[in-house]
């Protein structure tokens, strides 16, 4: 079911999959509407399998917001439904719980217009540690120095595809790690992260919550490898050695490194146990960060 009329074709489409996101969807949409008085963003919220008032809250923010409702609680299904409803390129795929400004998304669209060789891009990811415990803060002190953070990473809540970039694959596959799947489709020189524009996500409040979130990510990445949708696992020993070389000269970071190593090892162990036990990879989310 679709409510609210489709707006005129804008500078870009923004597709927001939302499953039971009534608590946060208004915050995101409010930022995008307030920062886009000229209506350059085509805003599409796909309420998928919701049992709360996600669609009602999203539809009440502004008449420009187009609501698509589907019965299945599935992010890939929501992304595909959003694509079917969208009319503009580039297309931004934005998680409902992130904080991002309209000007940051439009800056990506402007970059793609200037540089057609950039097929996938995003603002720079920022982690909000306001509600994070001391252990989580230590974890992210090391994470900030990792190869994952230093390379041209897209995903983790926001990624934008040009028309040529979106043509690189068909429907979104039914996998957990959609952002990892999309990123690996593009060579490093086809991806771009904008350093002067950011989006933020909230870190989990506790280390246990961070490990649970990371376990899903690890399991989702392994699912991609087993399915043949990616050819190699994302992590390498070279990255770990490079990180150690960066941290070793700074004794003040050593306690944080211990926490980080624990926070990296436990998700891999838990994900491996699930796979070995034949248990399904389940979608989960950290409610402590949805504030």
Q: How many angstroms separate the Cα of 260 from the Cα of each of 15, 61, 287? A: 33, 40, 22
Please give the pLDDT value at position 10: 59
Ordered DSSP codes for 157-203: TEEEE-HHHHTTSSSPPS-S-HHHHHHTTS-GGGEEEEEEEEEEEEP
Query: Using CA atoms, how far apart are residues 280 and 195, in angstroms rounded to an integer?
Result: 38
Determine the average pLDDT of the residues in 263-274: 87
Please give the average per-residue pLDDT across 38-55, as a whole number.
97
Residues in the chain: 291
In the prediction, which pLDDT does 202 show?
Answer: 93
pLDDT digits (tens, 9 = 90+) for 72-123: 999 999 999 999 999 999 999 999 999 999 999 999 999 999 999 999 999 9
| Higher pLDDT among residues 283 and 15, named by residue | 15
User: Lowest-confidence range among 16-30, 136-150, 265-279?
Assistant: 265-279
From 26-35, 61-70, 134-143, 235-244, the region with the lowest mean pLDDT: 235-244
State residue 2's pLDDT score: 55
Say how far apart CA 219 and CA 273 lie, in whole Å.
Answer: 10
**Which pLDDT belongs to residue 280?**
63
Q: Residue 6: pLDDT band by 50, 70, 90 thresholds?
A: very low
215 or 78, greater pLDDT:
78
Q: Does the structure show a pLDDT above 60 at 8?
A: no
DSSP 8-state class, residue 71: S
Q: What contacts 258, CB < 8 A, 6 or more positions away? A: none
pTM for the complete prediction? 0.87
| Range from 27-36, 145-154, 262-271, 275-284 carrying the lowest mean pLDDT | 275-284
Rg of the Cα trace of the chain? 19
pLDDT for the residue numbered 236:
47
Does the pLDDT at position 9 exceed 70? no
Cβ burial 151-184 (10 Å sphere, 16+ → b, else e): ebbbbbbbbbbbebbbeeeeebeebbbbbbbbbb
CA within 13 Å, CB half, 122: 23
**Are 52 and 20 spatial neighbours (Cβ–Cβ below 8 Å)?**
yes
Cα separation, 271 vs 255, whole angstroms:
25
Per mean pLDDT, which range of 39-53, 76-90, 220-234, 242-256 is the poorest?
220-234
Three-state DSSP at 111 gives: helix
Cβ distance 247 to 145 under 8 Å? yes
Q: How far is 156 from 121, CA to CA, in rounded Å? A: 12
Per-residue pLDDT band for 290 (boundaries 50, 70, 90) equals low
Yes or no: say if 120 and 169 are a contact pair by the CB < 8 Å rule.
no
Q: Are 260 and 142 in contact (CB under 8 A)?
A: yes
- Which among 151, 165, 179 has a CA at the least distance from the CA of 94? 179
Q: What pLDDT, in 10s, does the model give residues 151-189? A: 667 878 999 999 999 999 999 999 888 988 999 899 999
Q: Using the predicted structure, report yes or no on whether residue 193 has a pLDDT greater than 70.
A: yes
Average pLDDT, the chain: 88
Q: Is the peptide bond before 90 cis (omega within 30 degrees of 0)?
A: yes
Mean pLDDT of 257-271: 91
């Amino acid at each position: 079911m679709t409510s609210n009329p489709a707006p005129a074709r804008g500078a870009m489409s923004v597709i927001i999959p939302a499953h039971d996101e009534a608590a946060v969807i208004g915050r995101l949409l409010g930022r995008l509407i307030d920062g886009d008085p000229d209506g350059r963003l085509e805003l599409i919220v796909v309420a998928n399998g919701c049992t709360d008032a996600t669609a009602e809250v999203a539809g009440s923010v502004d008449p420009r917001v187009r609501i698509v409702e589907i019965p299945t609680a599935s992010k890939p299904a929501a992304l595909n439904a959003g694509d079917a409803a969208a009319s503009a390129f580039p297309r931004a795929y934005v998680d409902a719980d992130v904080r991002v400004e309209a000007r940051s998304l439009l800056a990506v669209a402007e970059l793609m217009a200037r540089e057609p060789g950039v097929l996938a891009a995003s603002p720079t990811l920022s982690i909000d540690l306001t509600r994070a415990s001391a252990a989580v803060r230590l974890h992210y002190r090391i994470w900030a120095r990792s190869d994952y953070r230093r390379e041209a990473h897209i995903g983790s809540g926001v990624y934008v595809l040009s028309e040529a970039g979106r043509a690189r694959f068909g429907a979104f596959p039914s996998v957990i790690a959609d952002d990892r799947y999309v990123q690996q489709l593009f060579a490093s020189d086809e991806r771009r992260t904008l350093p002067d524009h950011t989006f933020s996500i909230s870190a989990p409040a506790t280390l246990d919550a961070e490990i649970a979130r990371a376990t899903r990510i690890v399991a989702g990445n392994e699912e991609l490898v087993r399915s043949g949708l990616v050819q190699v696992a994302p992590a390498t020993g070279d990255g770990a050695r490079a990180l150690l070389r960066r941290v070793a000269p700074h004794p003040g970071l050593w306690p944080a490194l211990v926490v980080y190593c624990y926070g990296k090892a436990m998700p891999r162990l838990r994900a491996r146990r699930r796979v070995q036990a034949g248990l399904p990879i389940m979608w989960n989310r950290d409610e402590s960060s949805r504030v």
